[in-house]
Structure 1
Amino acid sequence: MDTSEMGLFADLHVFDTMTTKQVQIIRAAIDVFADKGYANSSTHEIAKRAHVAEGNIFAKFGSKRGLLRAIIDPVIQSIFPQTIDGFLREDFRADYATLDEFINAMVRNRIDLVRNNKKVLKAFLSEIIYNSDNWDRLKQEMPQGYWTRMYTLFDRLKAAGELVDWPDQDIARVLWSNFGGMLAGYFFFDQKLDDPSVAIMVASLVKALRP
């Protein structure tokens, strides 16, 4: 795994209390889970890729499920909430004059995060899709005020004639379903996430949501 893909974990000091072997195990597990999926992975394969004895996995993480939780929990408890907080502080500013400005900021400000943490986020999304308990935990960790700030911004853009006069929930659904679809294509179907692809998605969203 490229060291840059562990940036989120390093920035949040997730590894501070782990030994070198334990960090190797986390890195290897992210690689294996992202490449093969949780169900098709084994602790034996992870240990082999990490160059450690399989017993090291059980000693620290207890089981394959415990190892997955060591990867998923920081995303749910810290990484994802901090990313959403970034939306609140950066993307939901009050001074967007046009719909183009807002959508460009919302999409492009997250692209580097996605590109630099592809395997971590792929393993996370795979588990969220198949485990409703993790989805419920994720919703509980959403920063307070997220939807209020988003809908306030929608109201401003509607008043300026920049945004279609639909219910706020429907607008949010269009934004996130399109962005989520693009990420799914990138994570699971090897579709590109380059600048031309992003530009096309931004243009499509603006066209769909402009009055």
Structure 2
Amino acid sequence: MDIAEMMDQFLRNYDPENKMSEKQKKIVAAAIEIFSEKGFAATSTSEIAKKAGVAEGTIFRHYKTKKDLLISIVMPTMIKYVAPFFAKNFSREIFENEHKSFESFLRKMIQNRFDFAKQNFPILKIYMQEVFYHEELQGEFRKVFLNHVYEKFKNIILHFQEKGEIVFLPPDTVIRMIISTVLGFMVNRFVISPEKVWNDEEEIEQTVQFLLNGLKR
């Protein structure tokens, strides 16, 4: 699926009353592609305009600044796409199902997040590149995590601690270790070394085993 198709799917599924014109769609799709390849700071509005096949002035009729264009991509993605998909669907698929063991929970969670990252890589790459520079993006991420994920994640950890499967560390510490490990794998896989020849199944299994053995009671 190319980025233009991804944008159309996003708008159909998560913004059914979308009023975005065809030119705006082209601008946003071009911006996603170039921001993903070069980063926000290194991208010019003239490059975006050329890629979208519009005059540069057209961009500024819709977006006052380049940052407005970035936020128009990332914030709706966080609020309308990542929030419901990452948080609500993720919670339903992972935290609201029973897991026979901590190992089966880990394996299903990591595979779920890997599939999501692979499918939505261009948009997520922009977010990962820019989240450290824009407080509004950090705030949205914290809100989504705390409102939809944190308590259910904590309950899973407490459950498997009570079963004696994982070490009695504070649940926040265990959550942080899991997120740091999984995020580190995803960043290397999709951002730092995407050109490397990866054996994804093997990497996922090694990540599961690393966490499983590190947290074993």
Structure 2 length-normalised TM:
0.88
Residue 40 of structure 1, CA deviation: 0.6
- One-letter amino acid of the structure 2 residue matched with residue 52 of structure 1: V
The question of 1:201 aligning with 2:204 is answered: no
| Whole-angstrom distance in 2 between the partners of 1:9 and 1:187 | 24
Residues 40-75 of structure 1 show CA distances to partners (whole Å, capped at 9, x for unaligned) of: 110000000111111111111122111101111112
Residue 165 of structure 1 aligns to a residue whose secondary structure is: coil
Further displaced range: 132-141 or 113-122: 132-141
Q: Distance in 2 between matches of 1:32 and 1:67?
A: 12
Give distance in 1, aligned partners of 2:125 and 2:12.
Answer: 18
Q: 1:186 to 1:179 in 2, by over 3 A?
A: same
Aligned to 1:165: 168
Partner amino acid, structure 1, of 2:210: S
Letter in 1 for 2:83: P
TM-fit CA distance, 1:145: 5.3
Partner of 1:42: 44
AA matched with 1:69: I
Q: CA deviation at 1:16?
A: 2.7
Task: Structure 2 unaligned segments of length 5 or more: list them.
Answer: none
- Distance between the aligned counterparts of 1:14 and 1:118, measured in 2? 23
Specify the alignment match of 2:178 in structure 1: 175
3-state SS of paired residue (1:129): coil
Q: Secondary structure at the match of 2:147?
A: coil
What is the rounded CA distance, in whole Å, between the counterparts of 1:161 and 1:149 in structure 2?
19
Deviation string 1:164-209 (CA, Å, 9 cap, x unpaired) is 1111011001110011111211232124472222222122111211
Answer whether contact 2:107 2:208 (CA < 8 A) is retained: yes
Matched with 2:73 is: 71
Closer, same or farther in 2 for the Cα pair 1:31/1:94, shift >3 Å?
A: closer
Residues 108 and 52 of structure 1, relative CA distance in 2, 3 Å threshold: same
Distance in 1 between residues matched to 2:134 and 2:169, nearest whole Å = 32
C-alpha contact (below 8 Å) 1:28/1:50 kept by paired residues: yes
Alignment of 1:51 with 2:53, yes or no, is yes
Within the candidate set 132, 135, 138, 2:135 is matched to: 132
Larger CA deviation: 74-83 vs 1-10: 1-10
The residue that corresponds to 1:185 in the other structure is: 188
Q: Partners of 1:68 and 1:201 in 2: how far apart?
A: 33
Which of the numbers 8, 24, 27 marks the counterpart of 1:25?
Answer: 27
TM-score by length of 1: 0.91
Residue type of the alignment partner of 1:202: V
Q: For the residues of structure 1 that align with 2:88 and 2:146, how far apart are their CA atoms? A: 7
Would the alpha carbon gap of residues 145 and 19 (structure 1) be closer, same or farther in structure 2, given more than 3 Å must change? closer
Q: Percent identity?
A: 27
Distance 1:165 1:60 in 2: 53
Q: What RMSD in Å do the two structures reach over aligned CA positions?
A: 2.0
Distance 1:43 1:15 in 2: 27
Aligned partners of 2:88 and 2:148 also within 8 Å: no
1:134-166 deviation line (CA, Å, top 9, x unaligned): 202321244635322211111111111211111
**Whole-Å Cα distance in 2 between the matches of residues 28 and 193 of structure 1?**
30
Moved over 6 A (4+): none
Q: Is the 8 A contact 2:117 2:124 kept in 1?
A: yes
What is the count of residue pairs matched by the alignment?
A: 211
Task: Check whether the contact 1:164–1:210 (CA below 8 A) recurs between aligned residues.
Answer: yes
